[in-house]
Amino acid sequence: MLRRKNAVQGKENTETGLSTNSSLSGGRFFNKNGTANTEYTGLPFWKRINLYHSLLSLRTTHFLLFILLFFVLINLVFAGAYLWIGLEHLGGLVASTPGEKFGEAFFFSAQTFTTVGYGRINPIGFAASVIASLEALTGLMSFALLTGLLYGRFARPRAFIKFSIPALIAPYQEGAAWMIRLVPYTKNILMNVEVSVTMAIQLEEAGTLKNKFFTLPLEIAKINVLSGSWTLVHAIREGSPLLGLSPGDFAAGGAEFLVFLQGFDESFSNTVIARSSYTFEEMVYGAKFKPMFHPNPKKTGTTVHVNWLNDYERVSLPGYEIENKIE
């Protein structure tokens, strides 16, 4: 448990929107991929779920599997309906065994659902015509929704930013600095990019353990264009909330560093955002990042090695003395 022996330096951030009562929150505030580490209960599942958002956010493989599963299930339902009213209401069948008859009904359903209609099998009578009409309508609506989802997934603004896995305490000028690195991994050019970093740490205040948030000023917090790697640097000097904190202090306070980025993407003509989070367990003391870009062989451009994003080397921290200000 941490106690305020001396006031932590730096400006406390009271506008994070996150819980200040540590007993009412558990674990990290944000996951490594930037999603909120929050679960919602108290309402039925169908009221809590946002199907549109969920389908937009699914991995591509999961999304395609969902579409395939929906296609199979909806055709099984309509194939069952044709079997229920009797296959004598479908003309042009050539199947003889029960399995072949089910196959004929299923693939007639698929042809009707997709409005292909090869013409060999056709509905006979009122019941079969009603079912086929309902299925054709369902198919048209389904493909309209699918088209919207595919466009939404394709055109949705994304930052396409990778953050380094570790955060480093590295030598900087005559002292040390907290550093992370980020890089865009597509050719999307971000303009007017701004980043803010907030440290969350648990402190005892009036006998109660509280979550406290401190803004970490960056040496450069805004750039005109982001086309290569960018190392975010918070110098640990007078006024820094990190001044004097040891690895044990970070561990005892459950420190977490929240990173928020936003910029204007000229490809989408829209503002995009990215988030990440670093816990005390993801910090490396006494290290610096290795360069991840160099001129191309013809020296006509710059090559950025995205797979070198997390590469660092161990170094000493001369002149960096730990002075505990929180215990």
pLDDT, tens digit (0-9, with 9 covering 90-100), for 153-167: 888 888 899 999 999
Question: Which of 47-51, 210-214, 305-309 is predicted with the least confidence, judged by mean pLDDT?
Answer: 47-51
In a domain, 226, yes or no: yes
In a domain, 283, yes or no: yes
pLDDT at 273: 93
Question: Structural domain of residue 56, as residue ranges?
Answer: 45-155
pLDDT-based confidence at 316, cuts 50/70/90?
confident
Residue 131: phi and psi, rounded to 5, are -65, -45
In a domain, 301, yes or no: yes
pTM of the model: 0.78
Query: Are 62 and 136 in a shared domain?
Result: yes
In a domain, 254, yes or no: yes
Query: Are 173 and 281 in a shared domain?
Result: yes
Higher pLDDT, 2 or 86: 86
Model confidence at 173: pLDDT above 70: yes
pLDDT at 23: 65
Vertex 108 angle, CA 106 and 109, to 5°: 65
Return the CATH number at 187. 2.60.40.1400
pLDDT, tens digit (0-9, with 9 covering 90-100), for 258-295: 999 999 998 888 999 999 999 988 988 889 999 998 88
Model confidence at 319: pLDDT above 60: no
Mean of pLDDT over the chain: 86
Q: Which of 108, 128, 155 is the last residue of a domain?
A: 155
Higher pLDDT, 3 or 61: 61
Are the C-beta atoms of residues 157 and 270 closer than 8 Å to each other? Answer: yes
Percent of the chain with pLDDT over 70: 93
Query: Are 180 and 133 in a shared domain?
Result: no
In a domain, 207, yes or no: yes
In a domain, 7, yes or no: no
pLDDT, tens digit (0-9, with 9 covering 90-100), for 83-133: 999 988 888 888 888 888 899 999 999 999 998 888 888 899 999 999 999
How many structural domains are present in the chain? 2
pLDDT at 67: 95
pLDDT at 324: 35
DSSP 177: E
Query: Are 217 and 89 in a shared domain?
Result: no
Query: Are 294 and 177 in a shared domain?
Result: yes
Model confidence at 212: pLDDT above 70: yes
Q: DSSP 3-state assignment of 180?
A: strand
* Sequence-ordered list of residues with C-beta below 8 angstroms from that of 145, at least 6 positions apart, any chain: none
Any idea of the CA torsion for 258, 263, 265, 271, to the nearest 10 degrees? 90
pLDDT at 322: 41
What distances in angstroms separate CA 26 from CA 38, 100, 291, one per listed residue?
A: 9, 56, 37
pLDDT at 298: 87
How many CB atoms lie under 10 A from the CB of residue 16?
A: 15
pLDDT at 311: 95
Closest to 257 (Cα-Cα) out of 229, 231, 283, 230: 283
Are the C-beta atoms of residues 146 and 67 closer than 8 Å to each other? Answer: yes
pLDDT at 121: 87
